[in-house]
Amino acid sequence: MLRAMADDAATYVQSFRWAPPITELLLAFGVGKVIGLFLVRYAWGLPGEGEGDTEQWVVVGDLPSICFETDVRTPADALRLYCAIAQDWADNVMVGRDLSQSYPIAVEPTREHAELLLSRIASIREMFMPIAGAADRIALKPM
């Protein structure tokens, strides 16, 4: 099950034309088919905003896939950042704001999709962040 999520994470990241080859994909946190948080390590640095970074977080599962910076170092903090990125998109959709500055979530920007995403964000915050690890520890498993 987590192997399939790792494959999804690699496929998602490599769908971006800017993505360097992946050298390592590490499972940082996972719950069945619901959510998988992976640390992706690249052969060379990323272009653009994260220029030079050789690592990136990616979240996949029964929710929108998002990849983002590695300034945060624990799984709980990475999930917190995922929630902030996703909530920005959902909040903007709910009030009809322009999405050009939001992370491009790959679904139609409808109120229904925004409400579903907000529900998943609430579940992540309530159920998963508390068990995703404290700031003083991180456990990563190669996939």
Q: How many CA atoms lie within 13 A of 83 on its CB side?
A: 18
User: Could you say which DSSP state residue 125 is in?
Assistant: I
Q: What is the dihedral of CA 23, 67, 124, 119, to 10 degrees?
A: -150
pLDDT at 25 over 80: yes
Residue with more model confidence, 48 or 137: 48
Mean pLDDT on 14-40: 93
**Residue ranges making up the domain that contains 13:** 2-142
Model's pTM, two decimal places? 0.88
The pLDDT assigned to 136 comes to: 47
| Number of domains, the chain | 1
Query: Among 65, 78, 83, which Cα is nearest to 138's?
Result: 78
Please give the distance of CA 46 from its chain centroid, rounded to a whole number. 16
Mean pLDDT on 56-76: 91
Q: 99 to each of 15, 21, 23, 90, 102, how far by Cα in Å?
A: 21, 29, 33, 10, 5
- Give residue 23's identity as a one-letter amino acid code: T
pLDDT digits (tens, 9 = 90+) for 96-137: 999 999 999 999 999 999 999 999 999 999 999 988 875 544
